[in-house]
Amino acid sequence: MTGEARGVLDLVLSGSPEVWGPAGLSLSCAAAAALLAAPLGIPLGMLVGAGPQRWRRGLRALVDAGLAVPTTAIALVLYLLLSRRGWFGEAGLLFTPAAIVLGQTLVALPVIVILTADAAASLDPRVHWTARTLGASGPRRALWYAGEIRGSLVAALLSAFGRAAGELGVALVLGGNIRGSTRTLTTAITLETARGEYERAVALGALLVLFALAVVAAVRFAAPRRAGA
């Protein structure tokens, strides 16, 4: 094993706060963002995927656009709102983990809406007929549909978590990469690379990749098995 590789491994295994601190913040912020986005994203996804026809296309276009907006742009808008002179400057949220969570919630939201909508739209037509003919109202039908696609909903949550954990724009612009307070894996990698601390950057990167792979594995486990697959 080369000296560099051993150095990277030591950094990870020794539990260095320079590595595990950002890792912990990345995971907790992304988890909070995915959980906050879910109560809004899942009902919205139901509406887009299985709601009244007249709402579906417009809402879907809006959400697709939301997914296309770069996370840095989302961060910039929130920065202006949260900065001292912004509308919500009084709250003093800028450069706190709360600001990162807020931004990442917006990053996670379209992922949850789209994956929920796709799962709801692919429901067997008999599910819709049965729910209606049993007399279920709109909100109750949405609840029943959620039960039928619960595996996809878990997968949507995990994907949203993955997108939030891997994004840089929000963490950097709203968090500010403050050591020991708002430094996440992605902002730490950016900093260590710029400083030429490649060993540390690689250790951080390895953790990020590891988490991403864990999310992919979890999604595969949660998502419903395709027929014949």
Partner 1 sequence: MSAALSARGIRAAHDGRTAAALDALEVAPGECVALVGPNGSGKSTLLRLLALLEVPLCGEVSILGIAAGPAEADRERLRRSVTLALPHPWLFVGTAIGNVERGLAARGVPAAERRERALRALGDLGVAGLAHRDARRLSTGETARVALARALVIETPVLLLDEPFAHLDPAAVPAARAAVERRLAAGTAVLAAAVDPADLAGLAARVVAIVPPAAR
State in angstroms the smallest separation of the CB of 42 from partner 1. Answer: 16
State in angstroms the smallest separation of the CB of 120 from partner 1. Answer: 14
134 binds partner 1, rule: CB under 8 A: yes
127 binds partner 1, rule: CB under 8 A: yes
3 binds partner 1, rule: CB under 8 A: no
122 binds partner 1, rule: CB under 8 A: no
The nearer residue to partner 1, 88 or 144, going by C-beta atoms, is 144
55 binds partner 1, rule: CB under 8 A: no
The nearer residue to partner 1, 52 or 196, going by C-beta atoms, is 52
3-class secondary structure for the chain? CCHHHHHHHHHHHCCCHHHHHHHHHHHHHHHHHHHHHHHHHHHHHHHHHHCCHHHHHHHHHHHHHHHHCCHHHHHHHHHHHHCCCCCCHHHCCCCCHHHHHHHHHHHHHHHHHHHHHHHHHCCCHHHHHHHHHCCCCHHHHHHHHHHHCHHHHHHHHHHHHHHHHHCCHHHHHHHCCCCCCCCCHHHHHHHHHHHCCHHHHHHHHHHHHHHHHHHHHHHHHHCCCCCCC
The nearer residue to partner 1, 95 or 145, going by C-beta atoms, is 145
Scan residues 149-178 and list those touching partner 1 (CB under 8 A).
Answer: 150
Interface residue with partner 1, options 140, 179, 195, 220 (CB under 8 A): 140
135 binds partner 1, rule: CB under 8 A: yes
Contacts with partner 1, residue ranges (CB under 8 A) = 52, 124, 126-130, 132-138, 140, 144, 147-148, 150
